[in-house]
Chains A and B, each alone.
Chain A
């Protein structure tokens, strides 16, 4: 009897599917004289950010009845696989949401429209040069940058003060200061710093500009690696803080960034290096009696620069409505809209005016002012345009850095492995 019921249920499922087949079919998005419909594949994941995106799109649709935008929600996870299939099969949406580090290959393969003609001088001037460079491939602007994160040091004020350390309050602080602070705060079973470096490459490469580190020269498959003093300075510093000063909680070096927050909440570490967006999570998850602060941006010999890897909005080159899509992006990245979106996502706006607007609105809120200030120092990084970077990062650099931080290889061996590995990837 049960078997019969199961068979009936299965047959019904089949019938429903066949019925659904008759009604399936993608919206072409192009009318014959009617309104144009643009598909916008959004990766926004936070409920507030989804709401902010929908609000912006709703406002656009209301003001532009002839050019309607339809949001198609997708996920960050495996976004690259999805996009590469869509582009290869010619089914990519008109507007693509992704990140600067990921759009390089798509731009190089000619899938993204050149947005330079549509970018007004005013808008161009409003985007920090380094950020604009991060979305410029072969002199063509291939995306509008929207949201950014920087690496910030969050500190447990009480723990620092109890250890006798002075909490820095200047516009910036130096790496040497951070090292000294961590040393001072390491006592009574507590550590000065917790730093989630299970995937250290992205962090080291992003923070290398402060030491003059570039890692790569050239673009695409022609990119050449350079691993010198500027590139080795930060890994060496972390290594020394761990192996010589013993001021880093060792387990955190094997954890992801977010996981290193737990010992920070528990008062096991006085400071932690995190993506700036974690301010919202700290506010939400930290014990109520934890008095935390965001320390000033950290400067190396070359200043407080960090690599910008903004989230981006690009236009599919094969779209029949590139101009309308570019106009929508111009609207989407207006000061007011970018400020609202970044507030929802707790990220740093990619334009100066939106950053200032957000600072005006939220500057008094804990951490925000410092985090937004760090956005001023974000700069372009050559790794964004190095063709085999992702493969090198996963197969060569990350294991090599992990071995180095675990004291299994020395600095010279690390540098050699990074260089040799670059030559061997993709062969």
Chain B
């Protein structure tokens, strides 16, 4: 019976990938279909006629590239800030003992339960007072705050998985606290940082509501805001250009993931503790 297990595993994997990838395939298909085909009853994945004009319209119509650049700036900056703040905080949180740790973790969870609409208006007023209401810097600060709890939550889990024994062994060998962190903890934490950075980047890249409310000037619009411009009044939707825009919007996320994918693998604790 064993011989049939491996092919079955591969088949299951292929089916799973198809299941996950189908929406993206369908989106790509829709992005190269004509308006007539998109509004017909046909459900073919391969377009009857390749219609590349959608991409031209998406790029020329709403300043998509400029918005993509804004999104990239905000997402990268938010990610860096969130990681810089959450790595030391997560380390402290993970290594804390007793009630203080419980309080810290509870605070992270509680901060996640407030609906966005509850905080948007005070947030807007605060940012306006600071002169940051309609700026990418203001949005970056908001995104960082928005990402931070989950980043902290993720990272403290990774830190907790690093045995304290390793740090103690380093200290026994005469390493200072900083050396222990730099040479033992941070290298082991790297895959966790990468995973958290990915999550942070995608969260900021896709965030819509804060950007919608905070950004007033078209030159500051991020990609999700610009994509909504393809949805008009009276229920009008420019489906082809919208799909093309969405495909283009997905590319940086995919590139970012591809860039950091290898960092995620490679054995988090390989060789750390000898059996």
Which residues in A have some Cβ–Cβ distance to B below 8 Å?
A: 2-3, 6, 9-11, 13-14, 16-18, 20-21, 24-26, 43, 45-47, 72-78, 81-82, 85-86, 88-89, 91, 99, 149, 256-258, 261-263, 265-266, 268, 275, 277, 281, 284-287, 311, 347
- In angstroms, Cα B218 to Cα A64, docked, is 24
A232: min CB distance to chain B, Å: 25
From residue 132 to 175 of chain B, which have CB atoms closer than 8 A to chain A? 132-137, 140
Q: Is the CB of B39 within 8 A of A17?
A: no
B162: min CB distance to chain A, Å: 19
- In angstroms, Cα B197 to Cα A9, docked, is 14
Q: Is the CB of B80 within 8 A of A262?
A: no
Known: A78-B212, A285-B40; 15 extra A-B contacts, CB below 8 A, are A13-B76, A20-B73, A24-B220, A26-B134, A45-B238, A76-B232, A77-B231, A81-B213, A86-B216, A89-B133, A91-B134, A256-B235, A258-B39, A277-B234, A286-B36
Encode contact with A along B210-235: 1 for CB under 8 Å, 0 otherwise.
00110011101000010011111111
18 residue pairs A–B, Cβ–Cβ below 8 Å = A6-B259, A6-B260, A11-B80, A17-B137, A18-B137, A21-B132, A26-B134, A45-B231, A46-B236, A76-B233, A81-B212, A99-B233, A257-B235, A265-B36, A265-B41, A266-B41, A277-B234, A285-B36
List the A side residues contacting B77 at CB < 8 Å. Answer: 10, 13-14, 17
Encode contact with A along B29-56: 1 for CB under 8 Å, 0 otherwise.
0000001100111000000000000000
Of chain B, the residue at the smallest CB distance from A86 is: B216
List the B side residues contacting A73 at CB < 8 Å. Answer: 218, 229
List the B side residues contacting A265 at CB < 8 Å. Answer: 36, 39-41
List the B side residues contacting A47 at CB < 8 Å. Answer: 57, 61
Which residues in B have some Cβ–Cβ distance to A below 8 Å?
A: 35-36, 39-41, 57, 61, 72-74, 76-77, 79-81, 120-121, 124-125, 128, 131-137, 140, 190, 208-209, 212-213, 216-218, 220, 225, 228-238, 259-260, 263
- In angstroms, Cα B139 to Cα A24, docked, is 12
- In angstroms, Cα B85 to Cα A74, docked, is 34
- In angstroms, Cα B42 to Cα A268, docked, is 13
List the A side residues contacting B41 at CB < 8 Å. Answer: 262-263, 265-266, 268
Q: Is the CB of B35 within 8 A of A285?
A: yes
Q: Is the CB of A89 within 8 A of B125?
A: yes
Closest 8 CB pairs of A and B: A45-B232, A13-B76, A24-B135, A77-B228, A21-B137, A75-B228, A285-B36, A10-B80
List the A side residues contacting B36 at CB < 8 Å. Answer: 265, 284-287
Q: Is the CB of A149 within 8 A of B218?
A: no
Q: Is the CB of B218 within 8 A of A78?
A: no
List the A side residues contacting B231 at CB < 8 Å. Answer: 45, 75-77
- In angstroms, Cα B220 to Cα A26, docked, is 11
Of chain B, the residue at the smallest CB distance from A280 is: B236
A221: min CB distance to chain B, Å: 21
List the A side residues contacting B35 at CB < 8 Å. Answer: 281, 284-285
A398: min CB distance to chain B, Å: 15
Q: Is the CB of A20 within 8 A of B39?
A: no
Q: Is the CB of B213 within 8 A of A45?
A: no
Of chain B, the residue at the smallest CB distance from A261 is: B39
Q: Is the CB of B128 within 8 A of A75?
A: no
- In angstroms, Cα B122 to Cα A88, docked, is 10
Instruction: Contacts A76-B233, A265-B40 given; indicate if A26 touches B225 (C-beta within 8 A).
Output: no
Instruction: Contacts A3-B263, A258-B39, A262-B40 given; indicate if A45 touches B79 (C-beta within 8 A).
Output: no
Q: Is the CB of A82 within 8 A of B213?
A: yes
Other-chain contact of B121, A18, A78, A85, A149 (Cβ < 8 Å):
A85
B168: min CB distance to chain A, Å: 28
Q: Is the CB of B212 within 8 A of A82?
A: yes
List the B side residues contacting A256 at CB < 8 Å. Answer: 235
Q: Is the CB of A17 within 8 A of B140?
A: yes
